[in-house]
Chain A
Amino acid sequence: MKYCYYILSLMLLLVFAGCKRTLKDAEFFGPEVISAPDDFVVTGFAANVDSIDFAGDTLYFTAAFNHYVSWTLTLTGQESDAEKKIQGASQLLDAANTSWKGESDNLFIFKKNEKIIARLTFFGTTYSVPDTIVVKKEKNYPGILITDFEGNGMVPSWTTFWTAGKLISKGEENTLHPPQGNFYFHMRGDDFNGGTGVGGMNHSPLGGGYGLSGSPTQIYLNMYLYGIPNTRIDFRIFESDGDAYTAEQLITWSGWRLISIPYSDFQLTSTSQTNGQNPELANEMMFLLKSSPAGNVVEADLDYIIFTNTPFEP
């Protein structure tokens, strides 16, 4: 009986001894918030250029405030809906606190020739200052672009295949608002007989391969994927030594989503031989559209398929 008390007392003591606070010396939590006072004035808010080539240039803003305040600079693409927010607390804006190279905070990528509205806002006031910049050239993202369905990338054309009677619609489209550019690839089918397999898309093997190199754990296949729930996509990569690898994604959402799959997560298909994963031999890709559970109308739309060494971030 006494042992029970001893054990429990010891455990309680350990609980209390474990109480540590990581933030105990912090002055405050989160970014600094200083509201703009009533007499607040902004002078000289402007971008360093009127148009920007994100392939090489850096955009920044200048402005001077008559008080030290918290500010938010929101950059919104007028066609792409891409948005970037830069926040800070200072008495002036310059290259040190507002430099931007075209990245986006949301899924969307800033487009060539679109206008970007830059809006500077402050806490505690409705005061805001706008400016406009034009994108001369969109950002070049590091990686091996397979296709963006705008005519760029290693694979300019794709073919589709369908189980008899299951095709509803297919092809490059611009109906939805895609995350990148204007076009994406659309596949929609009806698994009327409950066979799960509906159709798919692929391309001819590339003679020189995709040019991948490095460890399979450090290569990612990325793409934007739009679908309707109950759709499953089977991604397949083929290597020139005869190996075929597969990874699946069940679509549980509506709308666009960015998918990044490590090459090492691809599993050998049951019908394939095994020489081990050799990304440098990868030369062909296939996307299979499936119904999960069986018997549904399924859809997948793909955009901006790119291999990267770290998961893609727009």
Chain B
Amino acid sequence: MRQKRILIFLAMSCMMLFDRAYAQILFFDGLGRAVVTNDKLNGELIKDDTVSANKTTSGYTLLDFGINVKPSENFKVRAEFRARNNFGQFFGAGTSVNIRQFKIDGLIKDRVYYSLGDIDVEMTPYTVFNNDELYHKFESEVFAIRRRIAEYENFNNGNMWRLQGLKSNTILNINSALRLNMHGFFTRTRLSNNAGIPDRFLTGGSINFVRGVNPFFQAGINYVGFFDNAPASDQVQYINHVLTGNYSIGIFREKFSVELKGESGFSSYDYNNRKKDTAVSYNDYFIDTRLIGSLKSIGLKISAGYINVGPQFSSPSAQTQRIYPFTAPDVFPLVMNSTVTRSQTLFDRFAMERMYNQSISPVLFQVLPQYSNVLPYGLATPNRKGITAGIYQAGSKKVYELEAEAFFLSDIVGEGTKQLRNYMLIRGGLALNIHTLANIKRNIILSGGIKNENTKRDGFADVNFSSMLIDAGLSIETIKDLDILAGIKLLNAKGNEYVMVRDEYNYAVSFIDYNADINQKVISGGLRYRFTEKSFATVNYNKVFMDDNLSPGNNFDMNQLFLNYTVRF
């Protein structure tokens, strides 16, 4: 019945499209996509397995139809409907129609912008920030297409969190040189079950003074609160405050610029579990400061800095990982006669649509060291201090872009021992537009990236863990708008680490003795035809290898044929 009503509403909306009077206030946008995958799993992991699936074909067709109603310049309502039919289900069987997102935007007195409904929120890397799950800036376009689908499906828009509530911002020009930026939001992240679990809210805001002329000056404060609206009878009462100050002072000349910028602040955590009659509270702080110099003539930017993030600095909206570490992959989720969840691979983590986490967690997820061990929770990773350095250069006429970033860090407090770990993270890459360099009309783009991590600790609980992630990609436009895409990802992780297991208060309750000698490889190749700038069709073949040298019984390889047709309008 609900689906019928939605379809009737959609049909009426389409009819209105043909009325010119309505065209001024009513317009449509959206996305259509068809995906088909054919997968096959081979190897030791499913040897002698008579229950688990090892071949599958799946896919879907969907239409996201956005209806925008803009009765005035200062007010807009957007509702997005999704019609989806899974592959293999015809004539309406298995078709679902629902409202995917809903938002009201407006402008009050041409000054105060507000947005109500499904909103995206991002502040600073220590307050509200949805970190990328892995360093992928220089990955092949053949992988980036898959990642963009997963991100679209999970509302991962840049580093923003998708939340439900209200946000607003405004800019006040105090005088010709000075302005005041103000931003605030209020959202609910959890609904009460009326049986002991309370509503949970995330709210925050920032005030920034910006002096836009030389010397450039910016200073502000940011606040994020995450709390329960718990009556006395509810099981838990959780409150977490994060208050930070940010600053930036710079001199910007025609040929060069120098800027000192940073952010510092503290968190205050309070968790009362009435069920267990325990109350836990702690405070901690962080410091992040950078000196950045740039030479504009050669597009070069160099930075150096210091970070210190306390072991109990708690900022869930900046520390929650994008992928829950134990979510089963969409494809072949169960192995070993359907008794064991298949571990995530590098391929799963960027290609699977249903693995992404959309909720903010007050408890830090368990770290998977093979993917990220130095900064697994982004810059806000607790218990890290040390120096950082970076270099970035964009060649003239966009011929190339390169960047490199290094972190030399250590623990602030030992984890399970007085000995401190030392961490090193180096990451960077290069994207080269060969067609621009060689003055060729058709696009030829070469890209490569690398991330190397090392973790070491001496003593009775020694640690020696390293990982290397390598990306390489090539895109060649053959005939007009037809691209050959190729890419490879390599991950090697080796050594031992003690992985922290946390309780509901983020206390370390135990450590897992983690040993690894893993090699993962993803090789992909295919074609893309671009109908327009936003619409394309791709076909590619992916070969995934997972070699676990410590447990050869976990070895497997996976083949996947992937067909995708995407239209944006």
Given contacts A23-B413, A247-B194, 15 further A-B contacts (CB under 8 A): A1-B178, A11-B221, A11-B245, A23-B311, A28-B415, A29-B383, A29-B416, A31-B416, A31-B509, A123-B498, A247-B195, A248-B194, A261-B196, A310-B275, A311-B235
Residue of A nearest to B177 (CB): A1
Q: Which residues of chain A from 1 to 27 have any CB-CB distance to chain B below 8 Å in the complex? A: 1, 4-5, 8, 11-12, 15-16, 18-23, 26-27
Shortest beta-carbon distance from A103 to chain B in Å: 13
Contact B413 A29 (CB under 8 A): yes
Shortest beta-carbon distance from A35 to chain B in Å: 5
Shortest beta-carbon distance from B88 to chain A in Å: 21
Residue of A nearest to B462 (CB): A35
Shortest beta-carbon distance from A69 to chain B in Å: 8
Does A249 interact with chain B (Cβ within 8 Å)? yes
Contact A15 B243 (CB under 8 A): yes
| A28–B417 alpha-carbon span in the complex (Å) | 6
Does A264 interact with chain B (Cβ within 8 Å)? yes
- Interfacial chain B residues near A19, Cβ < 8 Å: 264-266, 285
Contact A22 B194 (CB under 8 A): no
Q: Which residues of chain B from 433 to 463 have any CB-CB distance to chain A below 8 Å in the complex? A: 460-462
Shortest beta-carbon distance from A80 to chain B in Å: 18
Does B215 interact with chain A (Cβ within 8 Å)? no
Residue of B nearest to A26 (CB): B413
Q: Given A8-B220, A29-B413 in contact, is the A15-B264 Cβ separation under 8 Å?
A: yes
Shortest beta-carbon distance from B179 to chain A in Å: 11
Shortest beta-carbon distance from A218 to chain B in Å: 10
Shortest beta-carbon distance from A214 to chain B in Å: 14
Shortest beta-carbon distance from A295 to chain B in Å: 9
- Interfacial chain A residues near B209, Cβ < 8 Å: 4-5, 8
Shortest beta-carbon distance from B376 to chain A in Å: 16
Q: A290-314 toward B: CB 8 Å interface, digit per residue (1/0)?
A: 0000000000000000000011010
Does A260 interact with chain B (Cβ within 8 Å)? yes
Residue of A nearest to B513 (CB): A123
Contact B219 A8 (CB under 8 A): yes
- Interfacial chain B residues near A27, Cβ < 8 Å: 413-414, 418
Residues of B within 8 A of A (CB): 1, 174-175, 178, 180, 193-196, 207, 209, 219-221, 232-233, 235, 243-245, 247, 264-266, 275-277, 282-285, 310-312, 383, 413-418, 460-462, 496, 498, 500, 507-511, 513
Shortest beta-carbon distance from A245 to chain B in Å: 13
Residue of B nearest to A36 (CB): B460
- Interfacial chain B residues near A31, Cβ < 8 Å: 416, 508-511
Does A32 interact with chain B (Cβ within 8 Å)? yes
Contact A12 B243 (CB under 8 A): no
| A8–B206 alpha-carbon span in the complex (Å) | 12
Q: Across chains A and B, which 6 residue pairs bring their CB atoms closest together, nearest first? A: A30-B508, A33-B416, A19-B285, A28-B414, A15-B245, A22-B282
| A311–B274 alpha-carbon span in the complex (Å) | 9
Does A262 interact with chain B (Cβ within 8 Å)? yes
Residue of B nearest to A27 (CB): B418
- Interfacial chain A residues near B416, Cβ < 8 Å: 28-33, 70
Interface size class of A (residues with CB under 8 A): 35 or more
- Interfacial chain B residues near A123, Cβ < 8 Å: 461, 498, 511, 513
Does A44 interact with chain B (Cβ within 8 Å)? no
Q: Which residues of chain A from 245 to 297 have any CB-CB distance to chain B below 8 Å in the complex? A: 247-250, 259-262, 264-265
Residue of B nearest to A87 (CB): B510
Contact A23 B510 (CB under 8 A): no
Q: Given A30-B416, A33-B511 in contact, is the A22-B283 Cβ separation under 8 Å?
A: yes
Contact A28 B310 (CB under 8 A): no
Does A112 interact with chain B (Cβ within 8 Å)? no
Does A157 interact with chain B (Cβ within 8 Å)? no
Residue of B nearest to A17 (CB): B266
Contact A15 B266 (CB under 8 A): yes
Contact B277 A310 (CB under 8 A): yes
Contact B282 A23 (CB under 8 A): yes
Residue of A nearest to B420 (CB): A28
- Interfacial chain B residues near A250, Cβ < 8 Å: 193
Shortest beta-carbon distance from A298 to chain B in Å: 17
Shortest beta-carbon distance from A192 to chain B in Å: 14
Does A217 interact with chain B (Cβ within 8 Å)? yes
- Interfacial chain A residues near B285, Cβ < 8 Å: 18-21
Does A124 interact with chain B (Cβ within 8 Å)? yes
Shortest beta-carbon distance from A32 to chain B in Å: 6
Residue of A nearest to B264 (CB): A16
Contact B233 A33 (CB under 8 A): no
Residue of B nearest to A259 (CB): B195
- Interfacial chain B residues near A261, Cβ < 8 Å: 195-196
Contact B194 A23 (CB under 8 A): no
Residues of A within 8 A of B (CB): 1, 4-5, 8, 11-12, 15-16, 18-23, 26-35, 70, 72, 85, 87, 123-124, 194, 217, 247-250, 259-262, 264-265, 310-311, 313
Residue of B nearest to A28 (CB): B414
Q: Which of B175, B196, B462, B508 has the most CB of A within 10 A?
A: B196
- Interfacial chain B residues near A16, Cβ < 8 Å: 245, 264
Shortest beta-carbon distance from A150 to chain B in Å: 26
Residue of B nearest to A35 (CB): B461
| A158–B460 alpha-carbon span in the complex (Å) | 58
| A22–B312 alpha-carbon span in the complex (Å) | 8
- Interfacial chain A residues near B220, Cβ < 8 Å: 8
- Interfacial chain B residues near A262, Cβ < 8 Å: 196, 233
The one of A15, A26, A247 that contacts B244, using a Cβ cutoff of 8 Å: A15
Contact B312 A260 (CB under 8 A): no
Residue of B nearest to A122 (CB): B513
Q: What would 30 A/B residue contacts be, using CB atoms closer than 8 Å?
A: A1-B175, A4-B209, A12-B219, A15-B221, A18-B265, A19-B264, A20-B283, A20-B285, A21-B285, A23-B413, A27-B413, A28-B417, A29-B508, A30-B415, A30-B508, A31-B510, A31-B511, A32-B417, A33-B417, A35-B462, A70-B416, A70-B461, A217-B232, A247-B195, A264-B233, A265-B194, A265-B195, A310-B277, A311-B235, A311-B275
Q: Which of A19, A260, A313 has the most CB of B within 10 A?
A: A19
Q: Which of B180, B247, B416 has the most CB of A within 10 A?
A: B416
Shortest beta-carbon distance from A193 to chain B in Å: 12
Residue of A nearest to B232 (CB): A217
- Interfacial chain A residues near B194, Cβ < 8 Å: 247-248, 265
- Interfacial chain A residues near B174, Cβ < 8 Å: 1, 4
Contact A23 B178 (CB under 8 A): no
Residue of B nearest to A265 (CB): B233
Q: Given A26-B413, A29-B414, A124-B513 in contact, is the A21-B498 Cβ separation under 8 Å?
A: no
- Interfacial chain A residues near B509, Cβ < 8 Å: 30-31
Shortest beta-carbon distance from B396 to chain A in Å: 39
| A160–B312 alpha-carbon span in the complex (Å) | 51
| A13–B413 alpha-carbon span in the complex (Å) | 26
| A23–B415 alpha-carbon span in the complex (Å) | 12
Residue of A nearest to B220 (CB): A8
| A220–B249 alpha-carbon span in the complex (Å) | 58
Shortest beta-carbon distance from B283 to chain A in Å: 5
Contact A248 B413 (CB under 8 A): no
Contact A33 B219 (CB under 8 A): no
| A177–B220 alpha-carbon span in the complex (Å) | 56
Shortest beta-carbon distance from B263 to chain A in Å: 10
- Interfacial chain A residues near B414, Cβ < 8 Å: 27-29
Residue of B nearest to A249 (CB): B195
- Interfacial chain B residues near A310, Cβ < 8 Å: 275, 277
Residue of A nearest to B222 (CB): A15
Contact A23 B233 (CB under 8 A): no
Contact B233 A217 (CB under 8 A): yes
- Interfacial chain B residues near A21, Cβ < 8 Å: 283-285, 310, 312
